[in-house]
Amino acid sequence: MTVARLWRRGVAALNYELPPKTIEYQTYLPAKLLRDAGFDVHIVSRARPRGHHMVEGVTCWIEPSTSNVVRRLAQLRAEFVYCEATAYGVLFGKAGRRTWHRNPPLASHPASRALQRRAIRWFDAVTITNPAELNAWHLRPRQIVDLSYPVDLKFWRTATDRDPDFWSQRGLPVPRGPVIVCVAGLVRLKRQVELADALAPLLRARPDASLVFVGHPFDRAVHDELIARRAANGVADQVILTGALTHDGVRQVLAWSTVSVIHSEAETQCMAIYESLASGVPVIMSPIPQLQSQFPTLPAPTSDAELRDAVARLIDDPGAVDYQLGTTAERVEWADRDRHDQNFRETIERLLGRTVF
């Protein structure tokens, strides 16, 4: 087989840790854009049980091991291969005629990290969305491509009236005063239980304030512990759990919100920060480099007392809110969906050397 015939023109293979339920979700939008451009799109994931199925015109392959993923990619002979945040995906820099990897995670073992840093140089394009992590990879300047996880800024910026029925229809109390919101699936990594404990003194001092947790209870133990802790802290009526919500539901909660808090142990781009700021809601975040490198002007308290002080200031000081929204506007704009789509299309056409979109 000649080199010219090695790759199948118009075939794209994308490597994700998990197969999608919909390609409309931010992470999977590259598959949607390629599908809409007429590519034969395949998503290959390492999971069980082995099989394949279709999702919105995209063939999804589930393979039980890395070696099976390698074989599947070899069979597809895709003109373009895109990897999304898979540690083993750094091995696929030669798996297509042109290749791109976004946010490869570093392995924990030093020898594996050294291999990753060598292998990543095989890729034609690499995206690291978090500035704090870029230096870990020693990339060539020509490899680096800017591609955010996209945020529909038009949607989040749309003015939304507060609807009391939103709460009453769910059997939840209608907030009477300041609303502190945390938008994240209920898992240990997001530290919702610790947040509830940290803010309990502030809630007791402000009986009209509410702490609202928005997110699916992926870890049921976290959900149950939140219920128990709010009672033990004497703020049972002020800590509200909405469960999973649609984007419209989250936007409604943000319309009621005074401040948003991110209390996670680790994050990457953290979409909730961008969505909150686009909705006009100021943010307090965890003091971790992944977030501080993106938003150096946002408060990142290092103790529970500092956290309570930061929340109180944003409740009481409109000037602090205006400062946040002003100093973060450029970074929020960076994540705009239209900008993401344009950057992706331009990069694909540059890599493939032809008009695609």
Kindly provide the b/e burial profile for residues 274-305, where b requires at least 16 CB atoms within 10 angstroms of the residue's own CB: bbbbbbbbbbbbbebebbbebbeebbbbeebe
Same domain, 162 and 58: no
| Residue 201 included in any domain | yes
Instruction: Tell me the pLDDT tens digit for each residue of 61-90.
Output: 999 999 999 999 999 999 999 999 999 999
Instruction: Tell me the pLDDT tens digit for each residue of 191-231.
Output: 999 999 999 999 999 999 999 999 999 999 999 999 999 99
Domain span at 290: 153-334
Residue 241: pLDDT band by 50, 70, 90 thresholds?
very high
Q: Let me know the angle formed at the C-alpha of 160 by 156 and 164, rounded to the nearest 5 degrees.
A: 130
Same domain, 329 and 180: yes
Domain count, the chain: 2
Q: Which of 251, 268, 291, 244 is closest to 154 using CA atoms?
A: 251
Q: What is the mean pLDDT of residues 13-40?
A: 97
| Residue 357 included in any domain | no
Same domain, 70 and 158: no
Same domain, 286 and 346: no
| Residue 301 included in any domain | yes
Residue 114: pLDDT band by 50, 70, 90 thresholds?
very high
Same domain, 211 and 282: yes
Residue 295, domain CATH: 3.40.50.2000
Q: Mean pLDDT, the chain, as a whole number?
A: 96
Same domain, 99 and 132: yes
Whether pLDDT at 339 is above 90: yes
Same domain, 308 and 172: yes
Whether pLDDT at 1 is above 50: no
| Residue 318 included in any domain | yes
Same domain, 65 and 13: yes
| Residue 114 included in any domain | yes
CB 49 within 8 A of CB 66: no
| Residue 344 included in any domain | yes
Whether pLDDT at 111 is above 90: yes
Same domain, 309 and 246: yes
Instruction: Tell me the pLDDT tens digit for each residue of 122-152.
Output: 999 999 999 999 999 999 999 999 999 999 9
Give SS3 for 177: coil
| Residue 87 included in any domain | yes
Same domain, 239 and 110: no
Distances (CA, A) of 195 to 202, 219, 239: 11, 16, 11
The pTM is what? 0.93
Residues 285, 290, 292, 298: is their CA dihedral positive or negative?
negative
Same domain, 171 and 217: yes
Same domain, 321 and 340: no
| Residue 37 included in any domain | yes
